[in-house]
């Protein structure tokens, strides 16, 4: 029967059952009624069919209406259940409603049965629809809780009405802790700008997109990409604001690191570009000071020359330090005078650090020899001392100590290995605030800093760790909150015999024996200084200002010239091409390529006995010693 209501009627009286059918037909209700008279039939019917309405007598032999109600609630709980009885009292009728019955109809008032069935059916349909909507809402909420973004809804008073699991993960508060609270007061610091402007934009334009700095339950600042949408009801009236926030803190940190790296890369490019010119400026100063030092006898004049030479050398070291840092390279090792470096740093700290910080140094006499780069060692000292200063804003004591030490199975900080042997230990201690435990494992990471914005780059300790590692050493850290921090840096001891051999070979430079040298450089001052240096050591010198002129000079004096010394970077024909051209035609020629640039370019055949490369500005000892070595190698 099309569109007929399926009704299950539990009634043992056939006359009453027929009366119910007649009443429903008169009320124009199209029904398909299954009548049952026992518990067994009732349960079988519920198992076999789905019904729209269940009608039941209240009082029957062996199976009353309450038992039927309980059975129907278990087997078809959503189907409306109506009692039809002539004996149910008011008290029992109320109990039936409490136990899940939809309604009760007295048999002497069956005229209201049709209306009761229609009402029960309508309420059942509404209930099913609500259940569907509730299930849909729960599913949507589950989907929203799976999102990594923070999704929350606020009413027009900015009080939070919905808070998903993503918001709990990002901000730390649970939904129970934030529902009903004011979003702006919860998620922003009191001085956060533009909150009112953003809110007004959402109300006026219906949406807003941008980046915000917010705070978590732990009062940690985070950066979020926020999308806000004004929600309206079916009548177009604004009722709430939907917020979808994505935590981009890590992304912003990575972007900042990339920008810093790019700035460092740009610094390296700029340094490479100007290194050649700077070294060309410093080279004549260094050569003049060395030449004057050999001819002067007055002690005061010698002191002034020594100052000029030291300044030129220091300038050269600074240029190389920038290049090494930008390129990640390590210079050649020399034995360092650690006491002198510590004394120099202590003097600087005394003049530059606040007076309320006292400075103490303790350098053990007869330190083991340590090879390395003195400029980089000074950078280690400076970075550690600056960190110590910043850890003592209210003053304190800074201690710098160096001593010999013998380690046996020393465990290395942040590494899974142990070290033994002889080392020189540098310790820098402060009486400051100490390092928090949660930050201790990150202190040597690039760009990690516990200082406020603009107070530190996060590169200090990272640079220290890199330099120490490149020197074959390691670092140990001891710290306590409120008690201060001690950094201990261990440098491996240098082979003394090798150092002495290097010093002897460096000091054994001799003059030439009248050999002819072709000197090529586009810097006039450097050309003249180098020519004077070579001539003062018994060499005959011819000069040229570029590669083309050098070829002409060489063709005119090829029988005399034994050595070609040329700058690398020159207008037109460069030093590399010049050496390749000359040495291909005359293999007996030895060549030295000089350059203030860190890039050798296409310098030919590095490492051959008749070719070599020297970095400007080079010392007199280096230039003359290299020249002697090449000439001796050619003779042998």
Region of poorest pLDDT, from 240-249, 441-450, 601-610: 601-610
Count other Cβ atoms within 10 Å, centred on residue 83. Answer: 25
How much is the pLDDT for 503?
43
Separation of alpha carbons 262 and 630, rounded Å: 42
106-141 tens-digit pLDDT? 887 888 888 888 898 888 888 888 877 777 767 766
Query: What confidence score (pLDDT) does residue 267 get?
Result: 66
Measured in residues, the chain has a length of 636
**Which domains, and CATH codes, for the chain?**
5-133 (3.40.50.2300), 147-247 (3.30.450.20), 254-326 (1.10.287), 334-493 (3.30.565.10), 507-635 (3.40.50.2300)
Q: Compare 614 and 397 and report the one with higher pLDDT.
A: 397
Tokens of 267: 């610094």
pLDDT surpasses 80 at 272: no
For residue 334 the two structure tokens come to 């020399």
Sheet holding 418-430, edge to edge: 357-363, 396-411, 418-430, 484-492, 474-480
Residue 224 banded pLDDT, cuts 50, 70, 90: very high
- Concatenated DSSP letters for 62-95? T--HHHHHHHHHHHSTTS-EEEEESS--HHHHHH
Residue 599: per-residue pLDDT: 56
Residue 613 has pLDDT above 90, yes or no: no
Residues 489, 470 contacting (CB under 8 angstroms): no
Percentage of the chain modeled with pLDDT above 90: 19
pLDDT in tens, 507-559: 455 788 899 999 999 888 888 888 888 888 899 999 999 989 999 998 899 88
pLDDT tens digit string along 192-203? 557 788 888 999
Label residues 540-560 b or e (16+ Cβ within 10 Å = b).
bbbbbbbbeebbebbeeeeee
The reported pTM is 0.42
How high is the pLDDT of residue 607? 44
> In which band, very low, low, confident or very high, does the pLDDT at 227 lie, cut at 50, 70 and 90?
very high
Q: Which residue has the tokens 């490479």?
A: 272
């Amino acid at each position: 029967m099309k569109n007929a209501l399926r009704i299950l009627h539990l009634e043992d009286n056939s006359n009453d059952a027929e009366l119910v059918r007649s009443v429903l037909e008169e009320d124009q209700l199209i029904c398909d009624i299954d009548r049952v008279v026992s518990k067994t039939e009732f349960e079988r019917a519920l198992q076999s069919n789905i019904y729209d309405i269940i009608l039941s007598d209240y009082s029957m032999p062996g199976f009353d209406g309450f038992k039927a109600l309980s059975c129907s609630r278990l087997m078809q709980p959503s189907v409306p259940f109506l009692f039809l009885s002539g004996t149910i009292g008011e008290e029992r009728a109320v109990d039936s409603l409490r136990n899940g019955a939809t309604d009760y109809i007295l048999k002497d008032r069956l005229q209201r049965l049709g209306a009761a069935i229609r009402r029960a059916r309508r309420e059942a349909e509404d209930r099913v629809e609500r259940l569907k909507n509730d299930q849909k809402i729960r599913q949507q909420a589950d989907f929203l809780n799976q999102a990594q973004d923070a999704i929350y809804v606020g009413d027009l008073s900015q009080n939070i009405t919905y808070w998903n699991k993503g918001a709990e993960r990002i901000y730390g508060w649970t939904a129970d802790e934030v529902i009903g609270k004011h979003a702006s007061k919860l998620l922003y610091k009191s001085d956060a700008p533009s909150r009112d402007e953003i809110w007004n934009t959402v109300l006026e334009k219906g949406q807003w997109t941008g980046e915000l700095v917010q705070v978590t339950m732990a009062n940690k600042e985070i950066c979020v990409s926020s999308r806000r949408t004004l929600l309206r009801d079916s009548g177009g009236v604004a009722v709430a604001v939907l917020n979808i926030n994505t935590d981009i803190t890590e992304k912003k940190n990575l972007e900042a690191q990339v920008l810093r790296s790019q700035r460092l890369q740009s610094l390296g490019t700029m340094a490479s570009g100007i290194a050649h010119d700077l070294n060309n400026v410093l080279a004549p100063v260094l050569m003049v000071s060395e030449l004057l030092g050999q001819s002067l006898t007055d002690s005061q004049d010698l002191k002034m020359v020594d100052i000029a030479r030291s300044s030129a050398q220091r300038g050269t070291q600074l240029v190389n330090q920038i290049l090494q840092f930008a390129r990640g390279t390590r210079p050649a090792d020399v034995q360092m005078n650690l006491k002198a470096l510590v004394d120099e740093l202590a003097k600087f700290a005394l003049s530059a650090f606040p007076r309320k910080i006292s400075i103490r140094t303790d350098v053990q006499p007869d330190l083991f020899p340590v090879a390395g780069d003195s400029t980089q060692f000074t950078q280690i000292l400076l970075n550690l001392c600056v960190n110590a200063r910043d850890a003592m804003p209210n003053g304190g004591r800074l201690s710098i100590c160096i001593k010999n030490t013998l380690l046996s199975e020393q465990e290395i900080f942040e590494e899974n290995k142990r070290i033994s042997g002889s080392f020189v230990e540098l310790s820098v201690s402060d009486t400051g605030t100490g390092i928090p435990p949660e930050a201790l494992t990150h202190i040597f990471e690039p760009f990690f800093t516990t200082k406020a914005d603009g107070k530190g780059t996060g590169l200090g300790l990272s640079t220290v760790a890199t330099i120490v590692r490149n020197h074959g050493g390691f670092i140990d850290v001891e710290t306590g909150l409120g008690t201060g921090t001690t950094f201990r840096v261990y440098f491996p001891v240098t082979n003394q015999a090798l150092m002495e051999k290097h010093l002897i070979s460096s000091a054994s430079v001799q003059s030439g024996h009248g050999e002819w040298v072709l000197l090529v450089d586009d810097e006039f001052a450097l050309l003249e200084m180098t020519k004077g240096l070579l001539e003062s050591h018994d060499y005959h010198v011819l000069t040229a200002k570029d590669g083309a002129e050098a070829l002409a000079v060489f063709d005119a004096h090829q029988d005399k010239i034994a050595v070609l010394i040329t700058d690398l970077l020159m207008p037109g024909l460069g030093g590399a091409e010049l050496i390749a051209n000359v040495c291909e035609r005359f293999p007996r020629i030895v060549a030295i390529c000089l350059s203030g640039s860190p890039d050798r370019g296409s310098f030919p055949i590095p490492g051959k006995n008749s070719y070599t490369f020297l970095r400007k500005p080079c010392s007199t000892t280096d230039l003359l010693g290299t020249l002697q070595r090449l000439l001796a190698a050619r003779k042998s």
